[in-house]
Structures are given as structure tokens and as C-alpha cells.
């Protein structure tokens, strides 16, 4: 009987140790759950913040793209206007050359 009682004391001690370990495990899991939830919230907040920054950046690029398009259009119009003036100048110079050639030919004939 003494052996059974000793064994019963050992079993009771083992059960108490098992309960203690189980309680510690539960506390560890609870702490880990709190940490995982905090990390998840931080990651989600970073995602929202990053998305907002990308939205602002995209908006700024759209605005910049519009300004570049306007500048290209303005420059294109300016170049077309300059081309027209260069063509008019070339035509005027050609008339001068023609008149000078005619005068030179008339001088040579006399």
C-alpha cells in the first residue's frame, strides 16, 4: 500500500506539473496572439499608409503628365509657327534672288 501511495503522490506531482505547464503554455499562446494581432494591425496600417502615398504620387504624376502634354502642344504649335515664318522668309529670299538674277542678266545684255 505504501508503494501505491508513493506512486499516487508521484502521479499527483506529475499532474500538478502538467497543469502548471499547460497554464504556462496558455499564457504563452495568449501573449503570442496579442503580439501577432499587434503586428497584423501595424502591417495593415502600413498598407493603408503606403496605398495613400501611392495614390498621391499617382495624382502628382498625372498632373505632371498633363503639364508635359500641354508643353509639347505649345512647343509643337510654336515650331509650326516658326516653320511657317522660315518658309515665308525663304520664299522672300528666293524672290530677291530672282530679282537680282534678272537685274544681273539685264546688266549683262546691255
User: SS3 for 20-64, per residue?
Assistant: HHHHHHHHHHHHHHHHHHHHHHHHHHHHHHHHHHHHHHHHHHHHH
Q: Any idea where the domains of the chain sit in the sequence?
A: 1-110
Residue 22's pLDDT is 81
- What are the contacts of 78-83 at 24+ separation with CB within 8 A? none
Report the C-alpha gap between 4 and 18 in whole angstroms: 20
Q: What is the pLDDT of residues 15-39, one digit of tens each?
A: 888 888 888 888 888 899 999 999 9
Please tell me the pTM assigned to this model: 0.49
State whether residue 1 is helix, strand or coil: coil
Amino acid at each position: 500500500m505504501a508503494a501505491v501511495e508513493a506512486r499516487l503522490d508521484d502521479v499527483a506531482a506529475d499532474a500538478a506539473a502538467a497543469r502548471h505547464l499547460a497554464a504556462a503554455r496558455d499564457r504563452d499562446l495568449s501573449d503570442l496572439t496579442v503580439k501577432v494581432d499587434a503586428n497584423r494591425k501595424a502591417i495593415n496600417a502600413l498598407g493603408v499608409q503606403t496605398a495613400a502615398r501611392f495614390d498621391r504620387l499617382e495624382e502628382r504624376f498625372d498632373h505632371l503628365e498633363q503639364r508635359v502634354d500641354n508643353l509639347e502642344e505649345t512647343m509643337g504649335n510654336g515650331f509650326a509657327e516658326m516653320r511657317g515664318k522660315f518658309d515665308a522668309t525663304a520664299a522672300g529670299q528666293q524672290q530677291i534672288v530672282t530679282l537680282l538674277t534678272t537685274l544681273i542678266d539685264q546688266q549683262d545684255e546691255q
